[in-house]
Amino acid sequence: MASVLHLSLLLLGSLMVASAGNFHQDFDITWGDGRANILNNGQLLTLSLDKASGSGFQSKNEYLFGKIDMQLKLVPGNSAGTVTAYYLKSPGSTWDEIDFEFLGNLSGDPYTLHTNVFTNGKGDKEQQFHFWFDPTADFHTYSILWNPQRIVFSVDGTPIREFKNSESIGVAFPKNQPMRIYSSLWNADDWATRGGLVKTDWTHAPFTASYRNFNADACVWSNGKSSCASSSPSSPSSSSAWFSQELDSTSQERLKWVQKNYMIYNYCADAKRFPQGLPAECRTS
């Protein structure tokens, strides 16, 4: 059964292609001194890292809820010590954030996909995964569904993590701060690979990650107003399916399959880290 599901997930991933945005229109390169480039008439963006510097970009728009898709092809070969980060984040000292981070590794060893959710500047909600495919061989779609009820992290349409709104039991949930999309490629060999034991091998530089097919079906926040609502950002007048989307039974089965076979760390299972008891949301899920 697992092998059949695995095959179906791979087939599904190969069929999923988000509608292509234009990187010139949607993003600004923010740092890297020429190491980030928009190519192919705005259809491709590359970030590179060498010993002097990494590089990064951010979205022109801010969003308050949405379904965000981006296809990435990660740094191939010996990527140990490198981190490719792709995330949503609001400004300020009490920021909200929804994180994908891809932690590189030695050739032949698996990448680690790191996820986290911050609300009002507080995170500590890490879950980490390995992949069921080689994320450096081709482009794959990484998606964040963010609505008032839940945040769902997906890879090629397969959910890998769901963070539900548990405000009813006192757990903060990001719902009030508009966020931009950010991505960067940088050196983190003090912690990224085996806790910092494996350092970046600069003889393999420059390291390059590639992006294409950005799509945001989302509420754009501008001048204090949401593009989805005439009155309140929490009740858009549009009938976007993603705004009330939840995981159907098939998606729930895929989520369980990924978490059973490919999850390598779950804060909700780390009793030593929380001697006073696991976080409230862990006790209800």
Active site residues: 97, 101
Euclidean distance between CA atoms 192 and 51, whole angstroms: 16
217 three-state secondary structure: strand
Of 44, 84, 95, 88, the residue nearest 66 (C-alpha): 88
Contact 50, 205 (CB under 8 A): yes
d(CA 253, CA 247) in angstroms, rounded, equals 9
Classify strands 82-89 and 44-49 as parallel, antiparallel or unpaired.
unpaired
Helix (H, G, I), strand (E, B) or coil at 179: strand
At residue 110, φ and ψ (nearest 5 deg) are -75, 145
End-to-end CA, the chain: 25
As a residue count, the chain comes to: 285
Other CB atoms within 10 Å distance of the CB of residue 164:
16
